């Protein structure tokens, strides 16, 4: 009979050595016996490096135009049921200023993948935000090396680009007309340009196995990303996956916690998808290794059309009410809102020690 404590020993090993083999990661993801211990140790690992700090980052969904056709995403170009929008430079700057006034140190500019903003226009927006004193994260999809470089020179600090899955066959099925190779290359370019680089996956994609997820996790570790976002699939109407089942909340949480054990110094968001799928999902994520929350702060009139999936945990409330509600959730969970600039401990150490 297999040793009953085998899985617990693997979790402990991950905590102590920050290393597990592919098979070991897969075993942890497949077993259910020691989930609570996994979450507890992931929390300990996060407290060890990031203390009780939670970074709040203001997500501004600047446009929902997209030329891609990802099978899961409501922004896909074939979806004619959503009203498309593009925020102007002034709208983005005034939203940023409001966020800064409320204490946000970082704005995250996110959009579908499109050329709706020219490179020059985006650079102007970035340098104006830079002058306002906020750190700038971009999440605008795949761009050329030159565009990433121009954004960086204009003042961008960080970039988020999820690989979604490292399994090429699965990627191909879900992302028509897109190149997996190009996505890997984009991530490499971002890292080479000195961005604090984030990636991530969706958990619960059709035919995605625990082994595939284990490979994703080891890919993140091998590439030394600074931030990893994990969220369950939420089926979205008017997409090919609309009738598909949601990703498993517990498995998503386990993936996140295991990443925390193997990469204790990085930033890990408690994703909106977690909160959307499960009431208090954000809180549970914060208690299981996550250390970042990114509330969407664009005006509701626009934000409600950033329809990557339904029931996105977003309410029509003022920025002040929103930050109060989230802050009290954070304090209730036993954490505090960070006064730092939002860099990961891992990134800070790299700046100091190379």
Q: Which residues bind ligand 5AD (CB under 6 A)?
A: 72-73, 162, 164, 202, 231, 233-234, 236, 273, 308-309
Distances from the Cα of 188 to the Cα of 35, 193, 197, 208, angstroms:
33, 9, 9, 24
Shortest distance, position 81 Cβ to ligand 5AD, whole Å:
15
Shortest distance, position 62 Cβ to ligand 5AD, whole Å:
13
Query: Please, which residue, 151 or 306, has the CB nearer to ligand 5AD?
Result: 306
**Residue showing tokens 């929103």:** 322
Shortest distance, position 323 Cβ to ligand 5AD, whole Å:
22
Query: Please, which residue, 233 or 261, has the CB nearer to ligand 5AD?
Result: 233
Query: Please, which residue, 26 or 61, has the CB nearer to ligand 5AD?
Result: 61
Query: Please, which residue, 202 or 257, has the CB nearer to ligand 5AD?
Result: 202
Query: Please, which residue, 202 or 333, has the CB nearer to ligand 5AD?
Result: 202
Q: Nearest CA to 284 among 306, 256, 304? A: 256
- Structure token pair of residue 280: 């208090």
Shortest distance, position 41 Cβ to ligand 5AD, whole Å:
26
Please answer whether residues 289 and 43 qualify as being in contact, where contact means their C-beta atoms are separated by less than 8 angstroms: yes
SS (H, E, C) the chain: CCCCCHHHHHHHHHHHHCCCCHHHHHHHHHCCCCHHHHHHHHHHHHHHHHCCEEEECEEEEEECCCCCCCCCCCCCCCCCCCCCCECCHHHHHHHHHHHHHCCCCEEEEEECCCCCCCHHHHHHHHHHHHHHCCEEEEECCCCCHHHHHHHHHHCCCEEECCCECCCHHHHHHHCCCCCHHHHHHHHHHHHHCCCEEEEEEEECCCCCCHHHHHHHHHHHHHHCCCEEEEEECCCCCCCCCCCCCCCCHHHHHHHHHHHHHHCCCCECECCHHHHHHCCCHHHHHHCCCCCEECCECCCHHHHCCCCCCCCCCCCCCCHHHHHHHHHHHHHHCCCEECCCCCCCHHHHHHHHHC
Query: Please, which residue, 212 or 273, has the CB nearer to ligand 5AD?
Result: 273
Query: Please, which residue, 309 or 347, has the CB nearer to ligand 5AD?
Result: 309
Query: Please, which residue, 24 or 303, has the CB nearer to ligand 5AD?
Result: 303
Query: Please, which residue, 24 or 216, has the CB nearer to ligand 5AD?
Result: 216
Q: Nearest CA to 112 among 91, 93, 84, 89? A: 84
């Amino acid at each position: 009979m297999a040793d009953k404590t085998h899985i617990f020993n693997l979790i402990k090993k991950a905590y102590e050595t920050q290393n597990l083999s592919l098979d070991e990661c897969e075993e942890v993801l497949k077993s259910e016996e020691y989930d609570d211990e996994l979450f507890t140790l992931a929390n300990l690992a996060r407290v060890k490096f990031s203390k009780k700090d939670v970074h709040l980052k203001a997500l501004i969904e600047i446009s929902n135009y997209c030329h891609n056709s990802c099978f899961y995403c409501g922004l896909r170009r074939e979806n004619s049921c959503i009203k498309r929008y593009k925020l102007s430079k002034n709208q983005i700057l005034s939203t940023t200023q409001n966020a800064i006034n409320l204490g946000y140190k970082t704005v995250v500019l996110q959009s579908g993948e499109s050329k709706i903003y020219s490179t020059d226009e985006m650079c102007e927006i970035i340098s104006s935000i830079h002058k306002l004193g906020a750190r700038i994260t971009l999440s605008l999809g795949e761009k050329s090396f030159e565009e990433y470089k121009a954004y960086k020179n204009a003042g961008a600090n960080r970039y988020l680009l999820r690989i979604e899955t490292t399994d090429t066959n699965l990627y191909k099925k879900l992302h028509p007309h897109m190149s997996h190779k190009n996505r890997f290359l984009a991530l490499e370019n971002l890292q080479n340009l000195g961005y604090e680089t984030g990636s991530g996956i969706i958990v619960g994609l059709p035919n995605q196995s625990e082994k595939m997820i284990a490979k994703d996790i080891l890919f993140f570790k091998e590439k030394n990303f600074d931030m990893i976002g994990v969220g369950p699939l939420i089926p979205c109407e008017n997409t090919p996956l609309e009738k598909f089942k949601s990703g498993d909340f517990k498995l998503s949480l386990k993936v996140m916690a295991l990443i925390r054990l193997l990469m204790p110094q990085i930033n890990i968001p408690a994703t909106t998808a977690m909160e959307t799928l499960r009431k208090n999902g954000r809180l549970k994520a914060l208690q299981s290794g996550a250390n970042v929350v990114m509330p969407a702060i664009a005006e509701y009139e626009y934000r409600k059309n950033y329809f990557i999936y339904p029931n996105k945990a977003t309410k029509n409330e003022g920025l002040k009410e929103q930050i109060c509600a989230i802050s009290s959730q954070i304090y209730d969970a036993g954490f505090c809102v960070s006064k730092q600039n939002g860099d990961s401990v891992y990134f800070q150490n790299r700046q100091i020690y190379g």
